[in-house]
Amino acid sequence: MEFFQLSEDIGASPLPILNCGMACEYNSGELCPLDQLQPYIQDALDLVEFANGDANTVWGAKRAALGHPEPFHLKMLGVGNEQFDLCQRGQG
């Protein structure tokens, strides 16, 4: 929420970076198996709904409850290997 508010306050377009289920090759090079990608996909969908969803949606209602009923107008997402860890796959 604070990231979106800051972006709005300074007139910037928010660009959150989401994990794609892949660790940096210089760290461990681990990959999330394709059949276990759904949590990463759902995180992205939930973030978009939080940022842009109508206040009648699950995540849009959470944003509205936090005091921002209007959407943040998210237009872009970055997808990378940020903060990948085995705990996200239930193995840590």
Please give the Cα distance from 57 to 90 (Å, whole number): 28
- Where on the phi/psi map is residue 72: left (φ > 0), alpha (ψ -120 to 50), or beta? alpha
Catalytic residue among 8, 25, 49, 82: 82
| Type of residue at 17 | I
Is 2 among the catalytic positions? Answer: no
Of 92, 90, 80, 87, nearest to 21 (Cα)? 80
Provide the annotated active-site residues.
Answer: 82
